[in-house]
Amino acid sequence: MGFHSNIFNCGFLPENLCAGFTRLLEITTATMIAMLLMSPSADADTASRPNVLFILCDDLRPDAVGCLGSKHVKTPHIDAVAADGVCFTNSFCTTSLCSPSRASILTGLYAHAHGVRNNFTELPANLATWPGRLQQEGYETAYIGKWHMGEGNDSPRPGFDWFVSHKGQGKYFDTEWNVNGQRRETPAGYYTTVVTDYCLDWLGQQQDKPWALCLGHKAPHSFYFPEPKYEHAFDDVTVRYPASAFALETQPDWIKQRLPTWHGIYGPLFDWRKKFPDRRPEAVTDFQRMVRAYWGTVLSVDDSVGRLVAFLKETGQYDNTVIVFMGDNGLLEGEHGMVDKRTMHEPSIRVPLIARGPGLPAGATVAGQVLTEDIAPSILDLCAAAPLADIDGRSWRQLAAGDDPEWRTAWIYEYDYEKQFPYTPNIRGIRTDRWKFVRYPHGDGSPDRHTPELYNLEEDPQELTNLAENPNFAQRRAELERQLATELAALGLTPESDTMPLDEGIKTELPDEKIR
């Protein structure tokens, strides 16, 4: 724990204690100055620093949130936070998978740099995180909810004064929790409600120090089980397969091969379809039930946001609290014939991001491309905390405040083939403000395993027409191939150093039941 500068603010302390501290300061001035020099935060007024409420949803599509474009899902509490802050309309994850993306959010690093490349790898304890930095600078810190870096480990992690989590994904009902390594308990009830109760308990105990609370929702991750009161909320909404599910003529073959698998629309649909593969048009009813249930779980997240914001307002903390609401990765809901995520298609990489609080404008919309890696530097910037060294992300505080002429216009996406989930190839791709180019490396240095993809996002935002093999775009493709290689090299990834598993192809076998 770093040196805490609150002791200089005698407003917190009874008069006799205050005088005591004054004498202590007189006696030990030299010692205190030495501590000041050692502590990066000691010159800051910690007491006036904003609190941080960081709300992370799991697999939440932006268009499943009212203010971010949903026609059907009403989220008045999330919308109110957005109206009071900034909506990022082009916010992306750089590896669309729970654990790698969560590690990027905490560290500001790409997956190849932090090393969490699948859902089974622990976040290396030596890596600096934004909550850890705030803890060093005098914040009280907590993580409550789904962590999921290290599938079977629910014990407390470094950087947090309070850590309440569970193994793996947790369950929508009656999850067993490890409460700060002190006790295990299984409170009856719906995950989203229970995790919010834990958060409110902790918030109610905070006193003088600024605090940073990370809430890791399970919702709306598969398998989708809405709270009973929302089970039928969307019964009247008709859901169809999206147009891109049937526009596969120009797409690489692996996308067609994925259709009847665990991650395709003709597969089991996270148990919403019992007999598969099923390509019949009427089988869309299973898909429809799946999407309705996904939306239903989001309604409870909105209730949770409402309870937390109400608490902050009742206790007079709302104005001095930075609230960041986001998702860890996107989700394919039938686009290109897919469910799940992992690919570099737009629904898989787009994540909701809303931020409000001191240092941010109200009612603003930001179109610049922001990444999961930008969260750590942005939150530390908003808290006037020392930045993390040698990270990949950048603070968007200036971008959000108006404009940042130096902001990025292109970025790199990476994903490594998983043997346990053989439905997505190795991916290295680049997304500029207008273009997307995606390569599928074999993994052993031999020619790429699959045809690449090239999209003009301005004219074809749904990615219906792959231009990679269209001779009219050969020059554009060559330019983007070069830019991809250059940007990868800037991240330290050359053909020699960028190691990845061998792509063993798309398979129809189901994943092990324990890791679904």
Judge contact between 351 and 372, C-beta under 8 A.
yes
Nearer to Ca ion, 264 or 330 (CB): 330
Judge contact between 60 and 80, C-beta under 8 A.
no
How near is the Cβ of 102 to Ca ion at its closest, in Å?
A: 8
Instruction: Report d(CA 180, CA 423) in Å as an integer.
Output: 36
Radius of gyration of the chain (CA): 24
How near is the Cβ of 331 to Ca ion at its closest, in Å?
A: 8
Nearer to Ca ion, 41 or 91 (CB): 91
Q: CA angle, 318 as apex, 316 and 322 as ends, to 5°?
A: 145
Nearer to Ca ion, 98 or 142 (CB): 98
Burial (CB count <10 Å: 0-12, 13-18, 19+), residue 62? buried
Instruction: Report d(CA 308, CA 348) in Å as an integer.
Output: 28
How near is the Cβ of 120 to Ca ion at its closest, in Å?
A: 14
Among the residues of 39-97, which ranges form H helices? 76-83
* Count of beta carbons in the 10 Å neighbourhood of residue 246: 11
> In angstroms, how far is CA 300 from the centroid of its own chain?
18
Instruction: Report d(CA 233, CA 292) in Å as an integer.
Output: 8
Nearer to Ca ion, 180 or 329 (CB): 329
How near is the Cβ of 170 to Ca ion at its closest, in Å?
A: 12
Q: What are phi and psi of 51, to 5 degrees?
A: -75, 165
How near is the Cβ of 410 to Ca ion at its closest, in Å?
A: 24
SS3 content of the chain, % helix, strand, coil (to 5): 35, 15, 50
Contacts of 238 (CB under 8 A, 6+ apart): 288
Encode 94-112 in three state secondary structure: CCCCHHHHHHHHHHCCCHH
Nearer to Ca ion, 77 or 102 (CB): 102
**Of 455, 39, 493, nearest in space to 247 by CA:** 455
Helix axes 29-38, 15-27, angle to 10 degrees: 90
Instruction: Report d(CA 85, CA 373) in Å as an integer.
Output: 20
Total residues found in the chain within this entry: 516
Nearer to Ca ion, 111 or 468 (CB): 111
How near is the Cβ of 74 to Ca ion at its closest, in Å?
A: 23
Q: Which residues, in sequence order, are bridge partners of residue 428? A: 414, 439
Q: CA angle, 414 as apex, 294 and 333 as ends, to 5°?
A: 20
Contacts of 245 (CB under 8 A, 6+ apart): 265, 334, 335, 336, 337
Instruction: Report d(CA 323, CA 320) in Å as an integer.
Output: 10
Nearer to Ca ion, 148 or 292 (CB): 148
Nearer to Ca ion, 329 or 466 (CB): 329
How near is the Cβ of 349 to Ca ion at its closest, in Å?
A: 12
Q: Within 13 Å of residue 421, how many CA atoms lie on the same side as its CB? A: 24
Nearer to Ca ion, 61 or 428 (CB): 61
Please give the residue whose beta carbon sits closest to Ca ion in the complex: 98
Nearer to Ca ion, 119 or 369 (CB): 119
How near is the Cβ of 161 to Ca ion at its closest, in Å?
A: 25
How near is the Cβ of 438 to Ca ion at its closest, in Å?
A: 20
Nearer to Ca ion, 56 or 309 (CB): 56
Helix (H) or strand (E) holding 54: strand 51-57
Q: What are phi and psi of 77, to 5 degrees?
A: -75, -40
How near is the Cβ of 99 to Ca ion at its closest, in Å?
A: 8
User: Which residues of the shown chain bind Ca ion in the complex (CB under 5 A)?
Assistant: 58-59, 98, 328-329
Nearer to Ca ion, 102 or 258 (CB): 102
Instruction: Report d(CA 174, CA 191) in Å as an integer.
Output: 7
How near is the Cβ of 278 to Ca ion at its closest, in Å?
A: 26
Nearer to Ca ion, 327 or 387 (CB): 327
How near is the Cβ of 262 to Ca ion at its closest, in Å?
A: 16
How near is the Cβ of 146 to Ca ion at its closest, in Å?
A: 9
Find tokens 């941010």 and name the residue: 360
